Structure 1
Amino acid sequence: MNHRRSYLLTLIACLAGAGIAAYGATRTWSLDVAHRPGMSDVRTPRTGADLEPWMIGLALVALAGTGALLATHGWVRRAVGVLLTLAGLGVIAGALAGRLGLDVGEAGSGATFWPIACAVGGAIIAAGGLTAARQGHLWPRMSARYERKPAQPHSPEPGSTPGPLAPAALTSDETPVDPRTAWDALDRGDDPTS
């Protein structure tokens, strides 16, 4: 697989995994319903984020890390890949910890589906991060037009005057004026063209 293709697939995988994990963590994993005769039932839903709040944080870290994959290169990009792998593994651990021993109440199939979706999202993030850690240094860099280039030093040619002025300017009667003399005249308050 060429490097551009693996780069694009990794970016898409990390974005998709973070989105799946964040969405799954905000769905209902447990629903307690207290039935009260003659009154409405009291429903207490609990999401994955209620059970393990740091899963949302790790999904956001994965989103930010995907942006960092675009902006970095070399060993920094590989380090971001390691961070993404750890974030993905953390989401998987959170999904498992939140679901194990949970009394799902009347949540139905969502109590099983959403934790699995979070774990799958975490696995996709971890796979993308692992790919970035292994191949990130081979991927293309951001275009050079977005990077600041240092100014080139200007070395005047022998016999020319230094500075940003042209070597000579013409007055109305077409006689050359020395730029340094013109600046000196301006400093004194005189008109250098007369």
Structure 2
Amino acid sequence: MNPGRERAVAALLCAVGAGLVLLAGGREWATVRASGAITPIGRTLTGGDLAGATTALGWAGLAALAALFATRGRVRAAVGALLVLLGAGAAYTAATGIGRAHVLAVAEERSTLLRLGGDLVVATSWWWAVSVAGGVLLAVAGLLTLARGGRWPGMSARYDRPGTGRAPAGASGAAGAAPGDPASLWKSLDRGEDPTLDGDPPGPGRATND
């Protein structure tokens, strides 16, 4: 696989991973109900309620996507290491945020009636696993960047035309200057040359400076 395709794969993993983390953060992760209460009492908790840090980590991972294209060398390697940390953090906070003790604690903080209820029943959805999967994809994108990112082109590489470069330092004067350069025109006039002749030998129909 060539470096350009490797970078595209890493960018795709980063985008999908961050998207899954952000998508899952706003969905329902758990529901707590008091089964022994006279009046049914329940509380629905989202990913933002149980693991709010995952959403912040997802946004940070999405921001790192642009850095994959804009950086090179050691800076890109640092972006890869950051992606590994962001992905691992998102996966860890999502996995620990769905624990029963944590879910009950958050639910009781948001609903005092649950404390007065009987047996509390916790039901979880699969959205927390989606967030974990997104974190894993972010980490994989970071590992790929660390391992292969040094070979990838930068953002400006596609706009560079092959064979273009600066003129040699010793090349000066009218021959090395652009035709419309005002400085070269003034130098030509100082030497007694006519810049309108464009370097062509004087013909029968042109007057010389002599």
Match of 2:128 among 115, 119, 127: 115
Q: Answer yes or no: is the 8 Å Cα contact 2:14–2:138 preserved in 1.
A: yes
Q: Paired residues, what number?
A: 166
Q: Which residue of 1 aligns with 2:62?
A: 63
Q: CA, structure 1 residues 19+36, in 2 after alignment: closer, same or farther (shift >3 Å)?
A: farther
Match of 1:127 among 103, 119, 140: 140
Match of 2:183 among 163, 176, 179: 163
Distance 2:154 2:80 in 1: 15
SS at match of 2:183: coil
Q: CA, structure 1 residues 54+77, in 2 after alignment: closer, same or farther (shift >3 Å)?
A: same
| 2:89 is equivalent to residue 90 of structure 1 | yes
Distance 1:9 1:62 in 2: 15
Q: Answer yes or no: is the 8 Å Cα contact 2:17–2:133 preserved in 1.
A: yes
Q: Which residue of 1 aligns with 2:28?
A: 28
Q: Which residue of 1 aligns with 2:117?
A: none
Q: CA, structure 1 residues 140+100, in 2 after alignment: closer, same or farther (shift >3 Å)?
A: same
Distance 2:41 2:173 in 1: 84
SS at match of 2:154: coil
Q: Which residue of 1 aligns with 2:156?
A: 143
Q: Identity percentage over the alignment?
A: 31
Q: Which residue of 1 aligns with 2:198?
A: none
Q: 1:19 is matched by which residue type in structure 2?
A: G
Q: CA, structure 1 residues 136+145, in 2 after alignment: closer, same or farther (shift >3 Å)?
A: closer
| TM-score, with structure 2 as normaliser | 0.65
Question: Deviation of residue 2 (structure 1)?
Answer: 2.8
Q: Which residue of 1 aligns with 2:50?
A: 51
Distance 1:42 1:156 in 2: 88
| 2:79 is equivalent to residue 80 of structure 1 | yes
Q: 2:92 is matched by which residue type in structure 1?
A: A
Q: 2:99 is matched by which residue type in structure 1?
A: L
Question: Deviation of residue 135 (structure 1)?
Answer: 0.6
Structure 2 portions without partners, runs of 5+ = 108-119, 176-181, 196-205
Distance 1:68 1:4 in 2: 15
Q: Which residue of 1 aligns with 2:115?
A: none
